[in-house]
Structure 1
Amino acid sequence: MSNIQVRPATLRDAKAIAQIHSTSTQEAYRGMLPDEQLKMLSSVEKRQAYWREAIEYCEPQVQVAIDGDKIVGFVGFDRSRDPKTRQTTGEIWAIYASPTHWDQGVGLALWDAARDGLAEEGCTTVTAWVPLRNERALRFHEIAGFKREMTTAKTSVVGSIKIEEVRLQRTIN
């Protein structure tokens, strides 16, 4: 069993975060999206710029999971971006583990850190948007205590592909 530590991300972590985001996306969405679409989504350079900016401005707050001296996952969390949600509603904007570390406790360690961070911010509930066809992500969130809000199902367009998403929610306690 690996010894996962979680800490706030620094600007130097942006490339490793982008690489994990890219490889995890490719693995998780293989079969859901055409390979061509996956390649376009997986630009490490674009993701690195996004995560550098997120880390610099703390929007969202970003934490990384470390196994030894290697970054193996990350979570981005903040207040909910959904319109008409209460100020006490937080959101997991992104949570990814390197595919080499799936099912090894990385996601749980990241979720625990995000939950603690959101609680410190005064949040009492937390949401996450997950594609309905991403069974691994749905299972992870449900194990972590999230419940599906089926009335929130929406269609997002990624390139030319439509993806059905559902919001999951749980209390922070």
Structure 2
Amino acid sequence: MSSIQVRPATLRDAKAIAQIHTVSAQEVYKGLVPDEQLKSMSVEKRQAYWREAIEYCEPQVQVAVDGEKIVGFVGYDRSRDEKSRPTTGEIWAIYAAPTHWNQGVGLALWDAARDGLQEEGCTNVTAWVPLRNERAIRFHELAGFKRELSTAKTAVVGGVKIEEVRLKRPINA
């Protein structure tokens, strides 16, 4: 039985969110982004970003908690894609601490984001995922997302070009 609880993030959570974001990104992007770029990822910059996101609810942020410890987070809101319908939501970020991978944290966060987007009136949800991030692609596909291959684009992460694809699913599927 999982002891993972999900709740809205508070400003006090920003540092823990930033630490999970940094450590997870460093693990996930190993081999995709040069090591010096990974080492230069700043918890402080991410903490400032997530503090602002939490304060202004853009995106909405929820955290997964195991006991008293934050072990993951999700940021979601309306889609940032141009020409997307106002009823399309987007998972802006979803990360679990590497120590809690494959323990239901991502699923708990996805369930919370889906509920939040549904309350906002969204009928579909998208997520942009690096094509070479097999863990994230697999997670989203297991959660019912389908690749929209015509959406492939190149994003720049730490000065390195990363191919991304948009995945999409109905909220109520």
Distance in structure 1 (CA, Å) of the matches to 2:19 and 2:46: 8
Equivalent residues of 2:33, 2:158 under 8 A apart: no
Alignment-derived partner of residue 36 in structure 2: 36
Residue pairs, 1:126-145, within 5 angstroms: 126-145=125-144
Matched, 1:5 2:5: yes
Structure 1 stretches of 4+ moved >2 Å:
none
Distance in structure 1 (CA, Å) of the matches to 2:33 and 2:113: 28
Tell me the CA shift for residue 159 of structure 1: 2.9
Please list the CA deviations of residues 122-142 of structure 1 after superposition, one character each: whole Å capped at 9, or x if unmatched: 000000000000000000000
Alignment-derived partner of residue 168 in structure 2: 169
Tell me the CA shift for residue 43 of structure 1: 0.5
Alignment-derived partner of residue 160 in structure 1: 159
Please list the CA deviations of residues 34-70 of structure 1 after superposition, one character each: whole Å capped at 9, or x if unmatched: 1111122x20000000000000000000000000110
Distance in structure 2 (CA, Å) of the matches to 1:91 and 1:160: 24
% same residue: 83
Alignment-derived partner of residue 118 in structure 1: 117
Using structure 2 for the length normalisation, give the TM-score. 0.98
Q: Any idea what SS the aligned residue of 1:87 has? A: coil
Distance in structure 1 (CA, Å) of the matches to 2:122 and 2:56: 20
Distance in structure 2 (CA, Å) of the matches to 1:159 and 1:95: 19
Query: Amino acid of the residue matched to residue 139 of structure 1?
Result: R
Q: Any idea what SS the aligned residue of 1:168 has? A: strand
Structure 1 residues without counterparts, runs of 5 or longer: none
State how many pairs are aligned.
172
Alignment-derived partner of residue 45 in structure 1: 44
Alignment-derived partner of residue 20 in structure 1: 20
Query: Amino acid of the residue matched to residue 168 of structure 1?
Result: L
Distance in structure 2 (CA, Å) of the matches to 1:39 and 1:141: 27
Alignment-derived partner of residue 92 in structure 2: 93
Structure 2 residues without counterparts, runs of 5 or longer: none
Q: Any idea what SS the aligned residue of 1:92 has? A: strand
Tell me the CA shift for residue 117 of structure 1: 0.1
Q: Any idea what SS the aligned residue of 2:53 has? A: helix
